[in-house]
Amino acid sequence: MNKSDISELKKTACRVRLWTVEGVFNAKSGHPGGSLSAADIMTYLYFKEMNVDPKNPKDPKRDRFVLSKGHCCPALYATLALKGFFPTEEIKSLRHVGSMLQGHPDMKNTPGIDMSSGSLGQGISAACGMALSAKLSGDGYRVYAMLGDGECEEGQVWEAAMFASHYKLDNLVAIVDYNGLQIDGSVEDVAGLDKLNEKFKAFGFEVFETDGHDFEQIEDVLNKAKEVKGKPVAIIAKTIKGKGVSYMENQVGWHGKAPNAEQYKTAMDELNAQLKALEA
């Protein structure tokens, strides 16, 4: 990846953040914090990593993405729209009656959504099923599942981890958006997830760590993931909740609420300024 590629990704990620804020503001509800922390990884996956075609969203041989932390769909919708799966204008209808953009991902009605999700812990299991199907069919596609750090408190995540390891699903990459905060406070204060790296290793995963906002590091770990044979991969991505909007960064209160008009303007001004600086 050269400097111009990185610059393009940064600009795209900034647009993902702009549309994320746009969506949540218009919905008057939603989850901006974890959406903004995940925006860079989603941008890299859809614009650099995954084999997907917006004109053929159901291609049986496409790579899959399962947003196991389904509440962060505002960033996924923004990413899919910018990739061309549907018009960006749709984002303004997020969470409204009649919208194809539900409060949590709905594979039946949204082009590009590979799995309905939202009840935490369940997406990773579905991703295992997809990865297993690829193995059975001999299709070479890969499956990426994004989990929240708080989500890893769900027992089902570890049932799925055992399954992925037992069936040697080396076409599965579980990415943990480790922003350190969940609804009731910091992850460490709420339930404790320390040594997540060791936990995944003990469950048979090859584990990589990365800065979830650094595209060169993201590229590096995703490339390394492709070299791993005979076991699944977990990527622990250290991120900042609310990344890109100054007053939201590392603030647990922005897990699940929408900005008011003034806050919306501040957020858009900040993100537009970041975009302008990148374009300069």
Q: Which of 131, 222, 245, 248 binds another protein (CB under 8 A)?
A: 131
Number of residues that make up the chain: 280
Minimum gap (Å) between residue 148 Cβ and another protein: 16
Angle, nearest 10°, between helix axes 155-166 and 122-137? 20
Which residue's CB is nearer to another protein, number 104 or number 224?
A: 104
Considering only residues 64 to 83 of the shown chain, the ones binding another protein according to CB under 8 A are: 64, 66
Cα 113-263-268 angle, rounded to 5 deg: 60
Minimum gap (Å) between residue 132 Cβ and another protein: 6
For residue 163, give the nearest of 137, 127, 139 by alpha carbon. 127
Contact 20, 78 (CB under 8 A): yes
| Number of shown-chain residues binding another protein (CB under 8 A) | 35
Tell whether residue 136 is a contact of another protein (CB under 8 A).
yes
Tell whether residue 132 is a contact of another protein (CB under 8 A).
yes
Report the C-alpha gap between 74 and 208 in whole angstroms: 26
Tell whether residue 115 is a contact of another protein (CB under 8 A).
yes
Instruction: Tell me the per-residue interface mask from 23 to 62 with another protein, x by CB under 8 A, - otherwise.
Output: -------------------------------------x--
Report the C-alpha gap between 78 and 86 in whole angstroms: 10
Q: First-to-last CA distance in the chain?
A: 20
Instruction: Tell me the per-residue interface mask from 85 to 114 with another protein, x by CB under 8 A, - otherwise.
Output: ---------------------xxx-----x
DSSP state of 183: T
Cα 31-32-38 angle, rounded to 5 deg: 105
Residues that bind another protein (CB under 8 A): 60, 64, 66, 106-108, 114-116, 118-119, 121-134, 136-137, 155-156, 159-160, 162-163, 166-167
